[in-house]
Amino acid sequence: MAAEPTIEAVGLVKHYHAGDGGVVRAVNGVSFTVHAGEMVGLLGANGAGKTTTLRMLATLLKTTAGTARVAGCDVRHDPVGVRQQLGYVSATTGVPDRLSPREIFTSFGRLHGIPPDELPARVDTLLRQLDLRGCADRPAGRLSSGQRQRVSLGRALVHDPPALVLDEPTNALDVVGSRDLLLLLGELRAAGHAILLSTHRLHEIETRCDRFVIIHDGRVVATGTRDGLVAEWIPDRAGELEDAFFAAIGRQAAGAGGGP
Amino acid sequence: MRLPAHPATFAAALAIARRDLLEFVRDRRTLVVTLLLPMATYPILALATALGLRTATHEIEARMAPVKIQVGLSGPEAARLAGLMQRVLESTPRGERGGWPAAVELADVTDADAAKLLDDGAIDLWITARRGLVADLEASGTVRLPVQVSADRPAGANVREQFVAFTRSLGRQAARERVRRAGLPATLLDPLDVVFEGDRDGGPPVQTQNVLSTLAGGVLVLLTVLTLTGAFYPAIDAIAGEKERGTIETLLIAPCRLIDVVFGKFLSVVAITLATLVANVASITATAAVALRSLPQGVVATLPEGTLALAAVATVAAFAGMAALAAATCLAVTTASKSGKEAQNTLTPVILLVSAVAGTALLPGMRGGPLLAAVPFAGQIVVARLALGTAAEPPATVATIVASLGISLLSSLLFTWLLLRLTTHGLADEDMLFRGPDVAGTAFHRPVRRARPNVIQAFLPLVAGFAGLWYSQGLVPSDLVQAIPLQQAVAVLLPLAAAMWWQRVDLRGTFSLRRPAEGLGSTAAIAGGALLGAGLFVVGAAILLAFQGDGISTEARQLSARLVSLIQKQPWWLAWTLIAVVPAVCEELLFRGWVLAGLAGRPKPGGVPWAAIGIQAAAFALFHLLPERMPQTFVLGLVLGTLVVVTRSILPAVACHLAHNSMPLAILGLAGDVPDLARMVETGEAAGSGRLPGWIVAAAALAVVLGGGLVAAAVRRSKFSDHPRSPLP
């Protein structure tokens, strides 16, 4: 594993002004790292701050305090550089209905500055890699949810970024679609991509992620491997990641602080 | 893969534009509505117009067409009169029968049955030829010829006009006979024979009316609306549509600046807008080529020779600028929307508003000069009309057209750039992008209690007030005793009360309801404000007299006359209340209270919100409707705004406004001593000398300086140096 993390969040803070004049502390000092060839799961309940954290990493939201780096580019000082190094898949599928997968990959390839002579080959590679050749020229609006999610992933991969950030990528997928997508992510990890994905469907990623970061109320309450988290949070009995997760956020909710 | 550090800016924008265009072209329904439907409507519109014109022409022709007139003649000299008429009918050359009926049929009737024949329609007119009628015609006087028509079935205007034309020939015939019997030459009746010379082809065969400018005016406004509608759907799709489909984030994480994304969106929208414009221009031209062939006789629609090319180039170039402006406007307006539906709701009133602005280009004064070409959405029509000419004026010179076009294009470019920056700003707004179902509509939501209104809310009572002011013009009575309270209520108090209730602001903070200083300082600040107001009125009047002279509108003079009448006829306390107290209190609460508080935001120590003061002063000036009063009310608005900001109290401003409006009453009281000033107040125009007495102006200037000094001293001595902090947001 490389010494320098590909994705590094350092004390990320995001506060919003609420409609009633108060301040919402959506993310409150989140730090973690993801290295090349590593897949990290960002876990948390709804409203825990997962999406806000990922959006700050993707430079879609400005940080209130703290910073993050992607492949050495700082989100505050070099947001364009970050976007060049990052593939981001939002919680919505984010696929234009009237364009085909080939057109979507081509347009985003142009946007990322891929030379015109290399672009068709790159698009063909992606279509093959994502098993989209059969529907490469069909409007995305007529694709299945699984195919659309793969198109979304392909769009994020078109410039072959070292870092990949996915916000609840399996939400709209059935069991088969989820398994296919996670297998694909496994292949990308094996190819050396640093992958950070958020989800609250813990059982799907329990055995697929290398490490997990559990956040609750905008704070990191636990980090570690599956076995490490289980041992740390439910030491007195055998359990699953879900048990460790509930123990971590339950302890936090009970006011026990950020660790056991 | 080798990727450039950042894709070139223009390449990124172009990539986004290509993607958006491809998406738009795939959306067949929108494509049809935007591009094809307007094109299909032109032939229908042209057909309807042609049919309408033809029907109108037929009606006019039918009214003008010669008819057969049945004339019943009775009385002792009926036969002699009939003989005279018959001779005229037979002997008048065809060329002298202008306006004649197709035929005149004469019938002998009796007085007993003539009325029944008239009512039955057997005859149209009945003349009783009295004894001596023909002899009188042969003599030298003017003969009165009564013609009876039916009370139940009165003869139409065409029958009357044509019979008068016939009897004119009868009279002319009688005149010729008189001249002949007097032994005078027949030319006595035709002293002049005017002949036009110099025409190679003998001049125009018939009188023609050129309707090009009238048609062009309507078509240009229609083209403006169509240009806007051309940008309507693509702009909605470009940002609000992306948000609705959840694809906007994928663009915002593209490795380029936000302005590049916006510029790419703009390129695609402007491309479609231009395509719509071209399609519409082509359709209008083709339709006009067909429709203009069927213009009624004597009506043409042509440009002077040699001006067509320049007019076409100037119009197309100006409207290309408008296409860019329309695209940028629609993008800026829809940026805050989260869905297509919300964007449509926001954009539709803007389109209507902009169309109204475009319509102002057809007002007579809008052809005045090239600077008018800078007005967005109206300037482009001004350029086109300069190039095409109007019914009253021929096309402008080449230099004027080129200068106007340049100004119009520069203005379009500048406004487009500003709007794109605004769009970028909106797109960068995290609240607009991610939070809430309808951020654009928050101005209309009832908020929680807050210290002061925000910028949008600051304008809401103003907009309602302007609307109230405008609509109440036709409703208020002419009597100022009723009109002033009613207008202040409709235009100021009601909108303000509604805004106060709806927005739940802290009234004390918003309206600066506090003493300006402690103890004597308070009195000094209020007295200073009053001196400032009184002095400013006289100084403003002196400037008006010196520079405006006779250029004061009828409306301004009428208002002055009504105010003077109010002052002279009503008890002084009532006149003072209506002219000074009510406006001073109501308008200060609205402009220096609500509007200024909303625009200025949270007070910053040592900071003066000049922009807010300027904007509220401009709104205050506009509120007084009459252009002559706007410069003075603008300056007064600046002073009043500054007074509130520096003293953090509304009281000196109310005193200033009160003193300012009280001056007409004071001056009329001194009318005998200062006739020039009194005349200015009475008539609203410059007096004979054109200037006020020097001592009056000097005293007023001294009052301004003294008033300013008093306010400054009061503020400096004030212990309220810290800004009061509201616990509310």
The ipTM value here is 0.88
Q: Which residues of B touch A84 (CB under 8 A)?
A: 3, 5-6, 255
Contact with chain A for residue B245, Cβ under 8 A: yes
Alpha-carbon span B104 to B507, nearest angstrom: 84
Mean local confidence (pLDDT), B262-277: 94
Strand partners, B103: B68
Q: Is residue B595 over pLDDT 60?
A: yes
**CB atoms B249 and A88 under 8 Å:** yes
CA distances B548 to B432, B542, B553, B627, B690, Å, are 49, 10, 11, 11, 9
Alpha-carbon span A49 to A215, nearest angstrom: 7
pLDDT digits (tens, 9 = 90+) for A60-71: 999 999 999 999
> Out of A58, A93, A113, whose CB is closest to B246?
A93
Residue with tokens 């042969």: B138
Q: Compute the Cα dihedral for B713, B718, B722, B725 and give only its sign.
A: negative
More confident residue, B113 or B721: B113
B65-188: CATH number = 3.40.190.10
Alpha-carbon span B605 to B727, nearest angstrom: 17
How much is the mean pLDDT over chain B?
82
Q: What percent of chain A has pLDDT over 90?
A: 57
Q: Is residue A258 over pLDDT 50?
A: no
Q: Is residue B549 over pLDDT 90?
A: no
Buried b (16+ CB within 10 A) or exposed e, B423-455: bbebbeeeebbbeeeebbebeeeebeebbbbbe
Contact with chain B for residue A92, Cβ under 8 A: yes
Chain B residue with CA closest to A83: the answer is B255
Mean local confidence (pLDDT), B276-288: 85
Closest by alpha carbon to B680, among B659, B657, B664?
A: B664
Alpha-carbon span B2 to B400, nearest angstrom: 54
Alpha-carbon span B48 to B62, nearest angstrom: 21
Q: Which pLDDT does position B394 carry in this prediction?
A: 76
Q: Which pLDDT does position B672 carry in this prediction?
A: 52
Q: Is residue B652 over pLDDT 80?
A: yes
Structure tokens at B423: 């769009």
Q: Which pLDDT does position B311 carry in this prediction?
A: 85
**CB atoms B22 and A97 under 8 Å:** no
Contact with chain B for residue A124, Cβ under 8 A: no
> Using an 8 Å Cβ cutoff, are B1 and A118 in contact?
yes
> Using an 8 Å Cβ cutoff, are A102 and A134 in contact?
no
Closest by alpha carbon to B636, among B663, B656, B652?
A: B656
Q: Which pLDDT does position B684 carry in this prediction?
A: 47
Q: Which pLDDT does position B683 carry in this prediction?
A: 52
**CB atoms A103 and B22 under 8 Å:** yes
Contact with chain A for residue B116, Cβ under 8 A: no
**CB atoms A159 and B254 under 8 Å:** no
Strand partners, B667: none
Q: Which pLDDT does position B98 carry in this prediction?
A: 82
Closest by alpha carbon to A202, among A19, A42, A16, A39?
A: A42
> Using an 8 Å Cβ cutoff, are A42 and A53 in contact?
yes
Cβ-based neighbours of A79, under 8 Å, separated by 6 or more: A59
Q: Is residue A109 over pLDDT 90?
A: yes
Torsion of CA B394, B399, B400, B405, to 10 degrees: 120
DSSP helix/strand/coil, A9? strand
Q: Which residues of B touch A18 (CB under 8 A)?
A: none
* Percent helix, strand and coil across chain A, each to the nearest 5: 35, 25, 40
Contact with chain B for residue A19, Cβ under 8 A: yes
Cα B664 to chain centroid distance, Å, stands at: 31
> The whole model's pTM is what?
0.68
Q: Which pLDDT does position A118 carry in this prediction?
A: 92
Mean local confidence (pLDDT), B533-539: 91
**CB atoms A111 and B728 under 8 Å:** no
Contact with chain A for residue B97, Cβ under 8 A: no
Q: Which residues of A touch B436 (CB under 8 A)?
A: 19
Q: Is residue A57 over pLDDT 80?
A: yes
Buried b (16+ CB within 10 A) or exposed e, B393-404: eebbeeebbbbb
Strands (DSSP E) along B56-110, which ranges?
A: 68-74, 103-108
- DSSP symbol at B492: I
> Out of A21, A83, A99, whose CB is closest to B450?
A21
Q: Which pLDDT does position A110 carry in this prediction?
A: 92
Q: Which pLDDT does position B687 carry in this prediction?
A: 39
Chain B residue with CA closest to A87: the answer is B253
Alpha-carbon span B235 to B419, nearest angstrom: 13
CB within 8 Å of chain A, chain B residues 619-648? none
Task: Provide the number of CB pairs (under 8 Å) joining chain A to chain B.
Answer: 117
Q: Which pLDDT does position B662 carry in this prediction?
A: 92
Q: Is residue B2 over pLDDT 60?
A: no
Alpha-carbon span A100 to A12, nearest angstrom: 37
Q: Which of B80-89, B320-329, B623-632 has the lowest mean pLDDT?
A: B623-632
Q: Which pLDDT does position B553 carry in this prediction?
A: 65
**CB atoms A81 and B3 under 8 Å:** no
Cβ-based neighbours of B273, under 8 Å, separated by 6 or more: B227, B230, B231, B234, B323, B324, B326, B327
Contact with chain A for residue B602, Cβ under 8 A: no
**CB atoms A21 and B245 under 8 Å:** no
Closest by alpha carbon to B30, among A98, A99, A140?
A: A98
Domains and CATH numbers, chain A: 7-91+162-253 (3.40.50.300)
Alpha-carbon span B208 to A164, nearest angstrom: 76
> Using an 8 Å Cβ cutoff, are B687 and B548 in contact?
no
Q: How confident is the model at residue B528 (pLDDT cuts 50, 70, 90)?
A: very high
Q: Which pLDDT does position A257 carry in this prediction?
A: 42
Phi, psi at residue B392, to the nearest 5°? -90, -30
Question: Cα distance from A154 to chain B (closest Cα, Å)?
Answer: 12
- Name, of B161-170, B459-468, B564-573, the range with top average pLDDT: B161-170
Q: Is residue A259 over pLDDT 60?
A: no
Cβ-based neighbours of A235, under 8 Å, separated by 6 or more: none
Structure tokens at B537: 């009125």
Contact with chain B for residue A231, Cβ under 8 A: no
Q: What percent of chain B has pLDDT over 70?
A: 86
Structure tokens at B445: 């939501």
More confident residue, B600 or B442: B600
Q: Which residues of B touch A122 (CB under 8 A)?
A: 1
More confident residue, B308 or B83: B83
Residue with tokens 């794109």: B420
> Using an 8 Å Cβ cutoff, are B640 and B588 in contact?
yes
Cβ-based neighbours of B686, under 8 Å, separated by 6 or more: B544, B545, B548, B549, B550, B680
> Using an 8 Å Cβ cutoff, are B257 and B355 in contact?
no
Structure tokens at B99: 């306006």
Q: How confident is the model at residue B296 (pLDDT cuts 50, 70, 90)?
A: low
Could you state, in order of their start, the residue ranges of all structural domains in chain B? 9-54+209-439, 65-188, 512-717
Q: Which pLDDT does position B199 carry in this prediction?
A: 66
**CB atoms B254 and A112 under 8 Å:** yes
Q: How confident is the model at residue A260 (pLDDT cuts 50, 70, 90)?
A: very low
How much is the mean pLDDT over chain A?
87
Q: Which of A227-241, B358-372, B476-490, B649-663 has the lowest mean pLDDT?
A: B358-372
More confident residue, B213 or B459: B459
> Using an 8 Å Cβ cutoff, are A165 and A88 in contact?
yes
**CB atoms B245 and A60 under 8 Å:** no
Q: Is residue A184 over pLDDT 80?
A: yes
More confident residue, B33 or B243: B243
> Using an 8 Å Cβ cutoff, are B450 and B728 in contact?
yes
- Name, of A189-193, A198-202, B336-340, B601-605, the range with top average pLDDT: A189-193
> Using an 8 Å Cβ cutoff, are B34 and B272 in contact?
yes
Chain A residue with CA closest to B256: the answer is A80
Q: Which pLDDT does position B392 carry in this prediction?
A: 67
